[in-house]
Amino acid sequence: MNAATRLTIGKREFAWGTRTFVMGIINVTPDSFSGDGLGTDADAAIAQGLRFALEGADMIDVGGESTRPGAEGVDAAEEEQRVLPVIERLAREIAAPISIDTSKAEVASAALEAGAVMLNDVWGLRRDPQMPGVLARFGVPAVVMHNQRGRPFRDVIGDIREGLETSIALATAAGVPRERLIVDPGFGFGWKEEHNLEMLRRLGELRSLGLPILVGTSRKSTIGAVLGLPAEERLFGTAASVALAIANGADVVRVHDVKEMLQVCRVADAVVRGWRRPEDRVV
């Protein structure tokens, strides 16, 4: 069990260790690596978010800038134009908490004002020096990810732990309680394929941080390298990686295919965390 056993995100309480929670991905971008980018079509993104909520997503992550290797960046104004209409509408219409996937403090602030209740920063609060202050001011939880891009390699888990501890320190120095954080080891961000696979194999070593762990393997290139398949044909490979992440300690999985991965989570949880027949459950 994590040191931080419960966390309120928006109006929902998440009890870590009881089951695996599912974060659905909405990419309001024209250049997503996974082939699911919705361009600037806010209506399509909203429809996808509504569908994810009906399918049972525990949280929805909205991003307006591709984080794939080599992707061209966009300025804050364009990023806001992509994500704010989606966040505003979804925040009114679904109960699942909305996360803003950005590394720009300006965009995070606007999104949190628009109805997002969590931050997901793939640079772990390290890219924009204003981000920790925004996080503290809004008083919301955050996913802080270790990003290995541009960093020297020594040891997979050692490098991840060092990066995450730096992100945690940035947050707490700004006044953000440690227990408000979720850590992400950064599968696919600056690693070779063999390093990504080692990351999943050794994921349990990150439990020593005492914080819930989010893992995002969905449709990524390492799965494609193993299977020799394009992004749109990586559903079963993703399912295998999700199940193994859960077996090794993941609390949240970030996925493109909510309905299918919820089934994977339920079976993996039944094995890893134990299972009760429906008629034996205490209501």
Every domain of the chain and the residues it spans: 20-272
3.40.50.1970, 3.40.50.2300, 3.20.20.20, 3.40.50.460: CATH of 20-272: 3.20.20.20
Q: Taking residues 274-281, what's their average pLDDT? A: 76
Q: Is the pLDDT of residue 48 over 80?
A: yes
Residue 133 binned pLDDT confidence (cut-offs 50, 70, 90): very high
Q: Which of 126, 161, 219, 254 is catalytic?
A: 254
Assess whether pLDDT exceeds 60 at residue 36: no
Confidence of residue 31 (pLDDT cuts 50, 70, 90): low
Distance in angstroms (rounded) separating the CA atoms of residues 240 and 188: 16
Q: Identify the pLDDT of residue 72.
A: 73
Q: Which amino acid is at 62?
A: V
Alpha carbon 72 to chain centroid, angstroms:
21
- Residue 90 pLDDT greater than 60, yes or no: yes
Q: Name the least confident of 12-21, 25-34, 73-82, 159-168.
A: 25-34
Average confidence (pLDDT) over 277-282: 66
Within 13 Å of residue 120, how many CA atoms lie on the same side as its CB? 29
Q: What pLDDT is attached to residue 3?
A: 43
Nearest to 62 by CA among 108, 19, 95, 123: 108
Average pLDDT estimate for 3-21: 91
Cα distance between residue 151 and residue 170, in whole Å: 18
Asked about 220 being catalytic, the answer comes back as yes
**Which among 70, 1, 57 is positioned nearest to 218, based on CA atoms?**
57
Please classify residue 85 by burial: count the beta carbons closer than 10 Å to its beta carbon, then call 0-12 exposed, 13-18 middle and 19+ buried: middle
- Greatest Cα pair distance, the chain, in angstroms, is 53
Q: Which of 19, 82, 89, 220 is catalytic?
A: 220
The answer on pLDDT for 80 being more than 70 is yes
pTM, rounded to two decimals: 0.93
Better-predicted residue by pLDDT, 256 or 29: 256
pLDDT at position 275: 87
Tell whether the model's pLDDT for residue 34 goes beyond 70. Answer: no
**What is the rounded average pLDDT of the residues 193-199?**
98
Can 201 be counted among the known catalytic residues?
no
Backbone CA torsion sign across 165, 168, 172, 177: negative
Give yes or no for a contact between 254 and 23, defined as CB atoms under 8 angstroms apart.
yes
Q: What is the pLDDT of residue 29?
A: 85
